[in-house]
Amino acid sequence: MRTIVLGIAAAGLLAGCSGDVAKQAKKEARADALQPGEYEVTDKVEELRSTDNSTPATAMKIAAAGEASPTSRICVGKDGVIDPTAFTEAGDKCAATGSYMRGGRLSYQFNCTRAGKGGLSQLIDGKFKADSFEVSVSTSTYFSGPGDYALNRTLSGKRVGECPAAPPPAAQ
């Protein structure tokens, strides 16, 4: 009888410990920031639609069947934060109105302006690990003229190495 009681107690302790190990492993898998370095980012347009019945004023497009989504490279700095330009079109000027990045989850909100057009807002929501991220980006425009649109994209980034060294300053 004593052997049975000791066996049950040992099994209970093992079960309790194995749960702690699993919880600890899951906790370790969550990151509080991205590792600094260069990331290759795939940008897939999920939906693009006009909101004012005109041609959307964007260079973004939905990839045709069999066409690869465009990729780019970005550098994540020592702070582990993704630069807002990773989510914008060339020339857009953005200011963060809210951001959160902790425990494997990230959320950014940006108000942007596009020269000669007007404003747009972006909501970015997703998850990340120490060396990768996947986010959904929702963009809405409120331009002063035609071209307003709603755009939904998925961006996936994977760390591929260190950022290239900055070129040396020009000799004077």
Residue 141 contacts residue 148 (beta carbons within 8 Å): yes
What are the sequence ranges of the domains in the chain?
A: 1-30, 37-161
List residues bridging with 74 in a β-sheet: 39
Per-residue pLDDT 10s for the chain (172 aa) are 555 544 555 555 555 555 555 554 454 457 888 999 999 999 999 999 999 999 999 999 988 888 888 899 999 999 888 888 888 888 899 988 988 989 999 999 999 999 989 999 999 999 999 999 999 999 999 999 999 999 999 999 999 999 987 666 766 6
Tell me the per-residue pLDDT of 104-125, one tens digit each, with 9 for 90 and over. 999 999 999 999 899 999 999 9
Contacts (Cβ under 8 Å, ≥6 apart) of 149: 48, 49, 50, 51, 56, 57, 58, 139, 140, 141
Contacts (Cβ under 8 Å, ≥6 apart) of 144: 117, 118
